[in-house]
Amino acid sequence: MRTRHILCPTDFSETASHALGYAVEMANLYAVDIRLLNVISLPYGAPDFGIVIDSPAELLQDQEAYADEKMKKMVAEVREQMPSGLLVHTNIRSGGVLAQILEEAEEREVGMIVIASHGHTGISHMLSPNVAEAVANQALCPVLVVK
C-alpha cells in the first residue's frame, strides 16, 4: 500500500466528493499518487418508437465528454491539495461499474481503493446494487468505504 497508487472511483456525486477527500488525505499521508476513475454504463439499444434521440454511439460520446469535463475540474481541485511531486491520474471507462473498478485496480496494481457508499438501507438497498459493498468483498487490495 505504501508505494502504490490510491484508486478513487467517482460518479461525481456529493458522496463521491466526500470519499475523494479521504483519498487525498491517504495519498498525502503515504506520499502516493491518486487515480480517479469514472465508469460510464454502456447505453443499450431499444426501439425508439418514432422518437428522435441520439444513437447509442452519440449518447456514449456525450457521456464521455461530460465525464472528461468533470474529471478536469476534479483534477484541478485535487492538485491544489497535494504536494508537488504527487500526481493525479484519470481514467474514464465504460461497461459494468463493478467489473471496471476491479479491472482498473488489478491492471494498475493499486494499493487501496477509496470508494463512496450511498448508504441505502432496507428495500432501497435490495433494489439498487451496492457497488461499494461488492468492491469491498471482491477487491484484492484494501478498500475504504466512505458514507
Q: Which residues contact 3 (CB under 8 A, 6 or more apart)?
A: 32, 111
How many domains does the chain divide into? 1
Whether residue 104 lies inside any domain: the answer is yes
Tell me the average pLDDT across 37-63: 72
> pLDDT digit string (tens) for 26-38?
999 999 999 999 9
Whether residue 120 lies inside any domain: the answer is yes
Q: Is the pLDDT of residue 52 over 60?
A: no
Whether residue 71 lies inside any domain: the answer is yes
Minimum mean pLDDT among 35-44, 82-91, 99-108, 119-128: which range?
119-128
Instruction: Check residues 50 and 16 and name the one with the higher pLDDT.
Output: 16
> pLDDT digit string (tens) for 56-93?
778 888 899 999 999 999 999 999 999 999 999 999 99
With cell 463493478, the residue in question is: 98
Phi, psi of 100 (to 5 degrees): -70, -35
Tell me the average pLDDT across 12-28: 95
Whether residue 1 lies inside any domain: the answer is no
pTM (predicted TM-score): 0.86
Q: Domain range for residue 50?
A: 6-146
Whole-number pLDDT of residue 128: 54
Q: Is the pLDDT of residue 105 over 80?
A: yes
We report the CATH number of the domain holding residue 48 as: 3.40.50.620
Whether residue 138 lies inside any domain: the answer is yes
Find, among 82, 79, 93, the residue nearest to 11 by Cα: 93
Whether residue 84 lies inside any domain: the answer is yes
The residue type found at 69 is: E
Whether residue 38 lies inside any domain: the answer is yes
